[in-house]
A and B are shown apart, each in its own frame.
Chain A
Amino acid sequence: MAVTSTAPDTVPTTSTYREPRRRPAFGRLLAWVFMALGLVVTLFPFYWMLRTALSNTRALAANADSLLPTGFTLGAFERVLGLSTTAEAIAQGGSGASVNFWIYLRNSVVVATTSTAGQVFFGALAAYAFARLSWPGRDKLFFAFITALMIPPIFTILPNFILIKDLGLLDTYLGIVLPTLLMTPFSVFFLRQFFLGIPREIEEAAMIDGAGRFRVFFTIIVPMSAAPITTLSLLTYITSWNDYLWPLLVGKSESVRVLTVALGLFRSQTPQGSPDWAGLMAATLIAALPILVIYAFVGPRLINSIGFSGIK
């Protein structure tokens, strides 16, 4: 760390400026200390989730100051995945009530996958019409779509709840995904921005060769936009996976209950005196894990999308 500020490895790329020569290495060291502190604060809670999930709830109270799992066991995971008997669960500090996070995991996968597929597909169709086709009323309709971004969700959630209830869709997958299945303003906006940047000449060449609009869209535009479509799909999937209020209102019953809703219930069901902390942390890890796995694979793509989308 004791390198001077003019050493090549401390002045990496063009957009970092060259520092004045007399700038002390001490300042740079201090900056690194702050950065390290920020990273520790950011990452520690993830470690703590894991540490607690691998502990025995009954041992937690006596070893609150231990930085390692206390009474190391996989019991908490077995408990929330419905793999242990009631007696085993109670012995390790569980409530004994049967919980099965496999069901909620399945529900979250179904809801997030369906809603992502719908939003991205229909959003891409609409975005193309807004970016490329000329038709009367186009800009007005687009403006209306964008205005919907400004409306706080709670404002439409109340009437939408009534609508879903009147349609008899409470406690169904369809009821949970329907309001965002056909369009979200963000998906249309996001893809339109990208489609606008594709050179017209490519499409025109195809059309002179006799391709229709739909063929141009599916054989030229979609393949060319694989990258932004993937990014949008990831963002949509994560948003849908993490959503809480809407599924809480329309999907309470166990058969369609998603992970976030199940977690809230699990916490409120824990007996007042001795919450099953290990079970709760195991369950939160199960809820977070799929997103963390996706992130491990596509991290840079998501990170780079921030800034140019800027709005999510």
Chain B
Amino acid sequence: MLQSRMSSNQQYALGSLFGPGRDDMASHTPHAHHLGMKVIETGPGFAVIMLPYRAELIGDPVRKVVFGGAITTLLDHASGLAVACALDVLRAIATVDLRVDYLRAAAPGLDLYARVDCYKVTRNVAFIRGIAYERGPDDPFASCLGTFMLGANLAGSSFERFVRDGAPEGGEEPS
């Protein structure tokens, strides 16, 4: 798949927050938690996330195929994480647009994976490309292209503490 331009030894701000073995990005997001998403792998400028197959995700009951929108959710989530893993300081990230191509139907009954690469970061914008697959990345059932706006530096903010330490007591406001 598309190789990230980030060198493997580049420091990236969220490595300690979202790196291998940390499930925070999925488990701290209610919807990702609700769907049972898991972070499989992260690295400089890329992320791999898994969405477990379940009957509630079906969009076409005749073909037992997962609804396209559920695949959008998986790719959107992996995209945000890939962008986070491409930044050298923690910043606010907002999706501007996302286009998903449905290359074929996903095989029923199998867990779904998404790998997204953030291949360019400018001062204000990050660009991503990604694929979704159930058996292997060489046979994707969907691909995507997206753009993200980068906002305020959040290093040391309540958001970073939230990500690092868990939900604040009593709903602290983002700084």
- Asked if chains A and B come from one complex, the reply is no
Task: List chain A positions with a Cβ less than 8 A from chain B.
Answer: none
Residues of B within 8 A of A (CB): none
